[in-house]
Amino acid sequence: MSSSFATLPNSRKSTPTPFTVAIPEEQLSDFRKLLELSKIGPKTYENELTDGRFGISRDWLVQAKEEWLKWDCFPNFTQPIKENGDVFNIHFVALFSQKSDAIPLLCLHGWPGNFLEFYSILRILTERYTPETLPYHIIVPSLPGYAFSSPPPLARDFQLQNIASIMNSLMIELGFGSGYAVQGGDIGSKISRVLAATFDTVKAVHINFCIMPEPEGVKDSDISEIEKQGLERSSTFKAFGSSYALQHATKPSTIGLVLASNPIALLAWIGEKFLAWTDENPPMDEILSSVTLYWLTETFPRSIYPYRQLFTPGLIGAHENPEWYIKKPFGYSFFPKELAPIPQAWAKTTGTLEFYRQHESGGHFAAMEKPEILLADVEEFLQQVWKPRI
């Protein structure tokens, strides 16, 4: 990524610190030793199957172990942000435009994702534009607890509202206090919703994930056949694929400590999601890059805290919560192999939906799987709804 995209806006309130990814050699050496010594369990009927019905296959795990540790580094920044008495150093990757009317766009990942999800989109933009012609300022942060950002505090609870406050403060510090747009998937879509409902600085929201129960008042005739297939997929996910979320929500301490103890265990837990939640299996190196990042930055136990708020039985979810109804311009992209793709009529009950696109392929990690398509959706949405700021 060209350093020419690193020139910050003159309107910034403070200057973030350039950040270089540098993992201590001792830590890398320990990782390789632990990886080499980690035993893969015996063959069983369940793990010999390759269709994913019982989880990850043993053969895939063996192959992944052999190919691990191909690593890419990109220009990064960190910015200290104060929130409720604590200071968080927030890591982010950015493409800054030199156009005076460039649209600030905050791109938010979820779990088990990270900032690497958006790298394909960043590459497309750097190939298509120069800093003088780039129509956007692209900001891709690591959420608190993920990768190189500070973890949640130890002495108090930490929820979506806290994350949203930090993300909004980050955008203001970077000089975008007059307004910015947000794009989010997975947990990032829920933070996007909280941002839109809470802060006037957020002017438009596009999401590609909107998991929710069936709303009242939607007729069956309002739902297309492909959307009905999506609802069937949602039912299957709820019955056979969502137990991980309950584990994260109800026993985050246990699963966090277990998966922080062994890289192969972490790979099995996260690798399964990349295989099951995508339309086509991602390249091995993309999965391993993400899992390596999680391991070397001790992300997993510090990253699953949102599940306590989002998936604990009896609590209302983010997307159906009337408190977080989106009153700003709102866009939704439907990818059929998403975990729980919802109909357009359902999405309309959660905000002022002004943009909807239905695609024939693509899954949960749209920014990684279908970067050209997701970028085109976001660009079309912004062209439709964005009004110049004074």
Where in the sequence numbering do the catalytic residues fall? 186, 307, 364
Distance CA 92, CA 80 (A): 11
Query: What tokens does 227 get?
Result: 């959307």
Amino acid (1-letter code) at residue 341 = P
Amino acid found at 131 = P
CA dist 374 → 119, 196, 247, 344 (Å): 13, 20, 30, 17
- Is residue 144 reached through a cis peptide bond, with omega within 30 degrees of 0 on the bond before it? no
Here the tokens at position 91 are 């890591």
Q: Pairing mode, if any, of strands 202-207 and 180-184?
A: parallel
In whole angstroms, what is the distance from residue 3 CA to residue 98 CA? 13
- Number of residues that make up the chain: 390
Query: What is the C-alpha to C-alpha distance for residues 335 and 358, in angstroms, rounded to an integer?
Result: 7
Residues with Cβ within 8 Å of residue 287, at least 6 apart in sequence: 64, 270, 271, 274, 275
R_g over Cα of the chain: 20
**Cα 371 to chain centroid, rounded:** 13
